Chains A and B, each alone.
Chain A
Amino acid sequence: MKRVIVIGLDGFEPKIVEGLLARGELPNLAKLCEQGGYRRLKTTHSAQTPVAWSTFSTGTNPGGHGIFDFLTRDTKTYLPIMALSRYEQKNAFVLPKVVNMRRGTPFWNLLSARDVQSTIIRVPCAYPPDQIKGRMLSGVGVPDLRGGFGTPTFYSSRTGLSSEQSEKVLTVSVKDGKVATHIVGPRDPKTKSDHKFDINIQIDKPGNKIIIQSQGQPEKLEVQLGKWSKWLKVKFKVGMMQSVSGIVRFNLRQIEPEFELYASPVNFDTEEPLFPISSPQEYAHDLAMKIGRYYTAGMAEDHDGLNNERFDESSYLDQCRLVLRERRKMMEFELGRFESGFFFCLFDTPDRLAHMFWRFTEPDHPANRGVQQPEFAQVIEEHYRECDAIVGEAMKHADEDTLFIVLSDHGMNSFQRGLNLNTWLYENGFLALKANSQPGEGGDFFQNVDWNQTKAYALGLGCIFLNMAGRESNGILKAEEAEPVREGIVSGLTGLVDSDRGQVAVRSVARREQVYRGPYLSEAPDLLVNFSEGYRVSWGTPLGGVPRGLFEDNLKKWGGDHVIDPELVPGVLFMNKAFREESPSLVDLAPTILNALGVPKGAEMEGKDLLS
């Protein structure tokens, strides 16, 4: 085969896809089905974007690439840290370097070694980008300018407004139709204060718009009421001698009686990203020259803005469409000049949209709080049809000599109830709190945990770690004590019933060696909790909280999720060539793609060629 084209649709759920296919509403995917075939695709443990796409790229289970969850912990401090990449600094005098924590060998490295070109757009867990022959633009894992997954800013003339999840709130005053404020930039590691970029806002009441004046580009940016603005390029002076640039866009919520403006997280600038986000390094800039500025942050969709109710569902939809359109432009531009080798483009939007709109498909979802909004019940299906049109566009570039694949990394499900895993560990004697403290006190980061008496703790999206002597800084369990503790947790949690609802919340708990093998097994969580449909780890758990009570309703707009038993959330796989395998898995993609391009599969790759 001369070419392989892979279109990734993050979080595309088989049940929705199959329903739409049956009704004839996904004509292009139906065509693929006819030409080759369609199957549900086995996902990874756990069913998360970074874990699954790393398995796609390396062809190994997570034990072979080292990505087990978005989060892991620092064994010295027990604090949660990003698991995807790390900043390493040799000493205080040199710049930190980003190190990708996805290990293993991605198949595009093997292609490069055989001089086969690749074009790879927005692949997760490639930050910093892999050095390949061809072009790569990094995806999930690229932070915003503040170094996190994304911090937006909300400007309001209302006083006393407090910050919600991951956001900055700035109280501003309107004087003679003008607002003087600033964009919040990176934090200065020395002074701990935020760098600022001044903006002056001119309110045009009759025109229902504002003009943002600054020394950025453009100097005057118009923002219409209720609409997303174009990008503003800003520059933060981070030292006497150094500056860092970024790009930000706005959504104007209200002019009066209160002034309310939302600013997206400040993304790395496409022209001069703070750290490399493409290979070759200048590719990020070259692409922007062709298609305009684009979102560089791994999480492009502003779900926080909606979750914190800083804008409404329609605005979130608009923004998802902006991201989708922008990604489509990238795809079309690159496919237009794609001749041979491997092509990949990931569309994240189906996942981010379904997380936020799932609740509208379930009248009894607690997050609806009794209010039905039928106008949003069809949003996900509508979005799937748009994705089908994109697939159709890409298929125009597939000839007889092209293997054409559409796949998702995992599916999507309901998230109605959350389980406070640390509280369960506490109630069952595996986690101890300091004297006189109770669950519900202390917040995140295991603040009240007594490590000298704690055997196990939960962190991330369903991970449980043992407090091992010699591994954790205050570890107490000796090697021979580990298994009885694991056995106690496995038997206690398996089949755990949510008594309020009379439903089984936990289907099973996996020991790590049951689901992983390979060189990075020792970095994996000791146990993985496999939740039932409708359940997930609670909001208070991932960062190390011990909230009061075991189960709670999920009242957040983020009402759909997929971090449950991986058996319940497979992805989808469409190919334009016939394949017989009845239960394909994500590990099979790397060998299939390599074989199609005439390159032998890597020694560590575990899957099989689906076309043979």
Chain B
Amino acid sequence: MKILVLNLPGVEPKTLFSDERLENLHRLMDMGCYGELKGDASAWNVLARQENHTLTLLEFLGQADKHCASFENFSALQSKLESQDWDYCQLIDAGLKNATSRADSGIADEYLRLDRELGEVLQHLSDDTIIAAIGDGCFVLVSSNNPISGEHKDGAIVDVAPTLLELAGYPLPSAVEGKSWVAGMELKNASSGLTSEEEEILRERLSGLGYI
């Protein structure tokens, strides 16, 4: 599976979880899991600390010969996503432009802009993508095989990287800093075929026609 990480500095749990106008973010929250994150927000990409080196997600996947790319704005990211030629993409520092002046009344508009840009990005994805949006102390995670749904409590920022790798089916390196949330859990698999329940749905939808 592909991994897309959106690092959105400045995005705070309070607004992210409560502003109903953030349609795309909220749809993703409903589809997957979300919650607050403990720890230093800038450590979102830290996978392992080995001796004198800090191994990031990007580095790790790059070493495994995966197609990785990093972007700093939505439009550059979009054109890469369209090409479909990637395994890991990350968007960094694309959070709130006025993140330093939170009192600014334009901040709400910035959230909306972000949500709109996210909406555009989503258009270019395929179903086998794992999406993680990471703000300041909060996250949203969506993956078709993710067994966790709804609010996920007590997560730490360094847990994100191993969780993503495990969902995507990569082996974890040694000295992993955080702990995968799905460790030991059975991942969901996509169902197929028409169940009797689905047949009932189909019958109901069509038979209201009257002629049937």
Contacts and interface: CB of A to CB of B under 8 A. Distances in A.
Given A92-B144, A94-B123, A240-B30, A148 B206 contact: yes
15 contacts: A71-B212, A77-B194, A80-B206, A91-B122, A92-B31, A239-B26, A239-B29, A239-B30, A240-B29, A304-B208, A352-B210, A444-B199, A461-B211, A539-B212, A543-B203
B52 interface: no
Contacts of B109: none
B209 interface: yes
Interface stretch (B86-94, B124-132, B158-166): B124-132
Given A77-B194, A93-B131, A240-B150, A146 B212 contact: no
B27 A242 contact: yes
A421 to B, nearest CB: 13
A175 interface: no
Interface string B180-212: 000000000000001001010111111111111
A587 B14 CA distance: 59
Secondary structure dominating the interface of A = loop
| Most B C-beta atoms less than 10 A away, residue of A82, A91, A146, A558 | A91
Given A92-B31, A240-B29, A149 B122 contact: no
Interface of B: 20, 23, 26-31, 119, 122-123, 125-127, 129, 131, 142, 144, 150, 194, 197, 199, 201-212
A82 B27 contact: no
A45 interface: no
Contacts of A290: none
A93 B31 contact: yes
B27 A95 contact: yes
B204 A93 contact: no
A237 to B, nearest CB: 10
Contacts of A543: 203, 206-207, 212
A166 interface: yes
B30 A242 contact: yes
Contacts of B199: 444-445
B150 to A, nearest CB: 7
Contacts of A303: 210
B29 A241 contact: yes
| Most A C-beta atoms less than 10 A away, residue of B28, B29, B204 | B204
A579 interface: no
A338 to B, nearest CB: 32
Contacts of B119: 94
B147 to A, nearest CB: 13
A192 interface: yes
Interface in A548-562: 558, 561
A307 interface: yes
A241 B30 contact: yes
Interface string A555-574: 00010010100000000000
A376 interface: no
Interface string A325-348: 000000000000000000000000
Given A94-B122, A239-B30, A444-B203, A148 B211 contact: no
A149 B28 contact: no
Interface string A510-552: 0000000000000000000000000000010011000000000
